[in-house]
Structure 1
Amino acid sequence: MGDNISETKKTINLKQLSKNSLKRNDKKFGRKKPRPNDCDKEVIPAPDSAAAALEQEDVGDDIPVKKIKLECKEASDKVIQDEKWVSGLTVSHKKNILDPKGWLCSDIVNYSLDIIKKQFEHIHGLQLTNFAPLFDEQTKPWKCDKKFEHIQPPSVQVHHMGRSHWVTSFQNNNNEICILDSLSKSKNQTVNTPSLEIQLSLIYGRNKTSIPIKILDSQQQENGYDCGLFAIANLVEFCFNPDYSFQTKTSFKSESMRNHLVECLENGLFTQFPQNSSQTPDITVLKHKILTINCCCSCGFQIGWMKW
């Protein structure tokens, strides 16, 4: 019934299908024999495949490709800002000076003092502002690695008074010690901070039991960022005329001070900061702003304040 069944049987060698038919190294590592299309140049996985998921993990789950490009740009901007501008200062310092809300750091102030000190050799002082003492919260006394040196008049100094604020002090040939503070009229500003008292004692108080300080009615800043600019401008004004400075009240053009400072630093030479041409009244000593620092020893600071 139906088709005839062939009695011829096809012989199959099962040994060829087993692992034993592979070479010894192939057996050990489970290597398979090559198959067609195994040597394709590129295999693009499906979006929902396991291979595609692995590629996304290599890039990072939380960092998209676009964000990586932005980070590279930020890194390049940082390199540009760290490039040298003038000796000791970088491009970021220049941007900070030109920023209307930028505070002057000690690097900018100290480099300015270095230029002015070489320019006005007859003016004493102009010491690094880093000599200001720091208060140790654990041991309580004030301490510093290096201290301000006593100087003879005419002398001038910029001080960081410990409250994110810069002021200028000077001693004229009449031995009058004065402070120029662009925030002296502020309700929240107190001139006699402990840090400033110690600095003034070290500079002007050798062999004195007390130091009378005059707080001059100097030009006031119009914001909370320009104190460093006014401190340098007042210092330069004194250096150009130490005998007759501040007999009249200054009237600096606040809108030009930042550009003028950049120009002076780039030229390595300071000129007087531009002022308005209008006449200003004589400078006066502010009422109730005469500061007297009492010293307990000849070195110019109270016992127990400082630790060397």
Structure 2
Amino acid sequence: MEGKNPQSVMLAETRQLKGKWEQTGLLEGLNEKEQGAMSVLLENQAKQLLDEASSTGTAANSEEWSGVALPLVRRIFGEIASKEFVSVQPMNLPSGLVFYLDFKYGTENGKKFVGESLFGNSGSLGSGRTGEAAGGLYGSGEFAYSINEDTATVSTSNQTWASASHADVGFDGALSASVEAGDIQKLTVAKSNISATADGDAISSFNVTGVDINGANYSQFNKVDGDNFIFFVGTTAAVDANNVVIEFSHIPVDYNRGDFEASGMDQNPETDLSIPEVDLELKSEAIVAKTRKLKAVWTPELAQDLNAYHSIDAEAELTSMLSDYISLEIDLEI
């Protein structure tokens, strides 16, 4: 096995299991990928049945359970809808470890901070899980990390402040309380006070910082009004008392393309150009199988009556109901 790709070894084992379980008919109706996954699950259940039989001996009616267990696995995991929407991979053991690559911002640039994931999901509820789609490329104006941004300091004499209205923020219900409290301010700055080559088409990526700005930038509402740039920021402090710094990008022009160029070079050009970095982190998370149990109680008289009057197999109906219920619970959890 030394030198072999673990993925290739796993695929070869899955193909062998598939050939074994195809003879039982339990793989019928499944596509090739589902057949491989189902083969592993059936093999796991068969090993468990052998372990139980060898450790505890043959109990009463255990043969009947053996005949139900494998079809039950086929029914439950063959009908789960969530496997059509998320990636599913069977495990050979009750627990395992999954590794994944996480790419992170390595440079603080505008709205990005060192250590944040490129894939966003900053509203994390735990390792690998999230409660919201935020950060990364989610949201308006999140396209400027790889652009060579510039900064301009705007003095108080060139700032015009006003409280934002509900119309300014698109009547966003989540911001209505902040608007009423005056915690969202509208800053108007002439383009000439920023740069003649400031890219108005990219204004949703512009960022405003300063001593008076103690809240978030609502850059999705930024807009161009003639020769003026209008920014929306959150702040509970008194505005227009200090200078502000505006991070912006340039329009590519024939005399200044706006990309990462330097007028001179030294022994460390990659540092002098200040190119934003992307860092790589290898993460892992433990995956442990969860046990689910249900039982049903019925009498022989009930089974006989159902069979005699309605030609219904009570055991089959109860087994079907239990398997459907477990399948629905797994779908809801995922």
- TM-score if structure 2 supplies the norm length? 0.24
Q: Which has the higher contact order (CA 8 A, sep 6+)?
A: 2
Larger radius of gyration: 1
Query: What's the TM-score, normalizing by structure 1?
Result: 0.26
